[in-house]
Amino acid sequence: MKPEKKETNTERPPVVVVMGHIDHGKSTLLDYIRKTNVVLGEAGGITQHISAYEVTHAHEGKEKKITFLDTPGHEAFSKMRSRGANAADIAILVVSAEDSVKSQTIEAWNTIIAAKIPYIVAVNKIDKPNANIEKAKNDLVEKGIYLEGMGGDIPFIPISAKAGTGIPELLDLILLVAELAALTGDASIPATGVIIESRIDPKRGITATMIVKNGTLKKGMFVVAGGAYAGMRMLENFLGAPIDSATFSSPVRLTGFDAVPDVGAFAQAYEKKKDAEAKALENKLDKQAREKKDPNGAAMDTERIIIPIVVKTDVAGTLEAVLHEIQKCEIPEVGFKIISSGVGAIGEADIKTGTADRESLILGFNVKMDATATDHNENAGVAVHLFDIIYKMSDFLKEEVARRKPLIETLVTTGTAKILKTFSKTKERQVIGGKVLDGAISTGASVRIMRRDFEIGRGTIIGLEQNKMKTKIVESPAECGILVAAKADIATGDVLEAFTMTAS
């Protein structure tokens, strides 16, 4: 008889991702729920990092925990949003009752569907004078988001994130969806989870935020995320308070990584340092093998203008988003080459990297230049540009691309004349008679000499006569005498095409 397997799985709190259009009120919703203010702390009111917050809500007479992930709403952060959804158990799709469904609403919805997690639709801003809940609901259904009571089973709730209307009911609905999803975890095993944020802290070194998806993380353990690992000498909860351990669905701040872990990386805790080091090395070798097999960056068209760029951001998730945005600003004639990228302030090494090419740019997002770099750049003169709002960086890059785009000359035909008769010719000058068929020809105009649709040479009209009178221009339909300067011999039946070159 086999021994009975010990059941260690227990109910775990849901991890909820909030998604939607850029200004439909996601941050305001989380602000109300957690009673802190993110919106005022963000440049331009745009949330530009993934962050995690743990709240408690009374549900059916019991205190229940919910972890919220706040994902950026700007289009450039689609990869971060995607990873946020994959780290979550439930999604809230926020839609404005004023603006209804936008393109980023559908993009967020597609991300949720790809993540294969249940979701709730929250129609926000119902307190606004122009709010139209029914229109928002109908627009959602038209896009294939079938709400409860409208031919589908997607839970729907009207809310005002600013006034708090419907928020308790939304939290109840989240916990109900979580119960139906039967979320469980095993606290007896070493923790596994997802890195949702990483950065270089000037005082503390490399830190990261991890959502524990299963198991327990304790002080003294070692965490591996990709090729990076850290010993857990200090754990903090999302408020920055020190803790001894964390279990499933909890956001924890980890300090002491030997490298910046990738946002979205799978994280695994180990009891022994040697096991963690071995796994980190294995991950590094696997990554190197993949890069060697499929190296990033094939040889580019030599005629394309390439702008070398050094990129520094405050956190790893933002770095990924900025690199994505840079790629989007490229055009066929002008592209970018990332010669260096990383997390942290712009330092002297970045300036030295930028001096390798006089056309280089250094872009900083939510970072500053340190004093040494500033001093060094007084002589180096590298173009350094600092931003704290993503679309301002995009606008700058688009202007830079337009400025460096090579002018393309286009030939525009202004008139054609068919040659009816040839007369005298002396030293690359030829007198001919012709008829203007289209447009006009004028003295000083450049012409292509066409024979049976092939160009046999080019020349310049240096004289015109019409009705035995000298003139500067002859318009169609009219016959005229033409004095042409050209090396090619012009014959009867040829066509002169007068043209101008325009640059664009």
CA 483 remoteness from chain centre? 59
Q: Any idea which of 47-61, 165-179, 366-380 has the lowest mean pLDDT?
A: 47-61
Q: What angle do CA 257, 259, 261 make, to 5 degrees?
A: 85
161 and 48 Cβ atoms separated by less than 8 Å: no
pLDDT at 175 over 90: yes
Strand partners, 480: 434
| Strands in 154-285 per DSSP E | 156-158, 184-186, 192-201, 205-214, 216-218, 222-225, 228-231, 235-237, 242-243, 245-247, 251-255, 266-270
Which of the pair, 286 or 175, is modelled with greater confidence? 175
Q: Name the DSSP letter for residue 261.
A: P
Does residue 396 register a pLDDT over 50? Answer: yes
Q: Is the pLDDT of residue 455 over 60?
A: yes
| pLDDT attached to residue 63 | 87
CATH number for region 409-503:
2.40.30.10
- Report the candidate in 324, 336, 313 with the shortest Cα–Cα distance to residue 260: 313
Sign of the Cα torsion 442, 446, 451, 457 reads positive
**pLDDT band, residue 83 (cuts 50/70/90):** low
- Predicted pLDDT of residue 6: 45
Which of 34-38, 76-80, 113-117 holds the top average pLDDT? 113-117
What is the per-residue pLDDT for 5?
A: 41
Q: Which of 427, 490, 431, 428 is nearest to 455 (CA)?
A: 490
Phi, psi of 36 (to 5 degrees): -125, 175
Q: What is the pLDDT of residue 103?
A: 84
- Of residues 145 and 357, more confidence is placed in 145
Buried b (16+ CB within 10 A) or exposed e, 395-428: eebeebbeeeeeeeeeeeebbbbebeebeeeeee
Mean local confidence (pLDDT), 38-48: 54
Question: pTM value?
Answer: 0.66
Contact yes or no for 67/13 (Cβ under 8 A): yes
Fold of 305-404: Rossmann fold (3.40.50)
Please state, in angstroms and rounded to a whole number, the distance separating the CA atoms of residues 154 and 357: 54
Instruction: Report the run of H or E that residue 397 belongs to, with start and end.
Output: helix 390-404
pLDDT of residue 52: 84
> Above pLDDT 90, what percent of the chain?
51
Cis peptide preceding 477, ω within 30 of 0: yes
- Report the alpha-carbon distance of residue 150 to residue 169 in Å, rounded: 20
* CATH code for the domain defined by 186-288: 2.40.30.10
pLDDT at 75: 55
Which of 462, 504, 503, 502 is closest to 486 using CA atoms?
462
Of 59-63, 78-82, 296-300, 363-367, the poorest mean pLDDT is in: 296-300
Residue with tokens 């056309």: 359
Residues of the chain with CATH 3.40.50.300: 9-184
Domain 9-184 CATH superfamily: P-loop containing nucleotide triphosphate hydrolases (3.40.50.300)
Cα–Cα distance list, 415 to 394, 458, 466, 476, 498 (Å): 43, 14, 16, 8, 5
CB 391 within 8 Å of CB 74: yes
Beta bridge mates, 473 = 442
d(CA 398, CA 101): 28
What is the band of 243 on the pLDDT scale with cuts at 50, 70, 90? very high
Stronger pLDDT, 502 or 310, i.e. the higher one: 310
Of the listed ranges 41-55, 327-341, 406-420, the one predicted with least confidence: 41-55
In this predicted structure, what is the pLDDT of residue 48? Answer: 57
Beta bridge partners of 195: 210
CATH 3.40.50.10050 intervals, the chain = 305-404
Instruction: Using the predicted structure, report yes or no on whether residue 272 has a pLDDT greater than 90.
Output: yes
User: What average pLDDT does this structure show over 58-72?
Assistant: 83
CA distance 156 to 149: 9
Structure confidence at residue 174 (pLDDT): 95
- Three-class SS state of 280: helix
Average the pLDDT over each of 266-280, 402-416, 462-476 and give the range with the smallest value.
Answer: 402-416
- What are the start and end residues of each CATH 2.40.30.10 domain in the chain? 186-288, 409-503
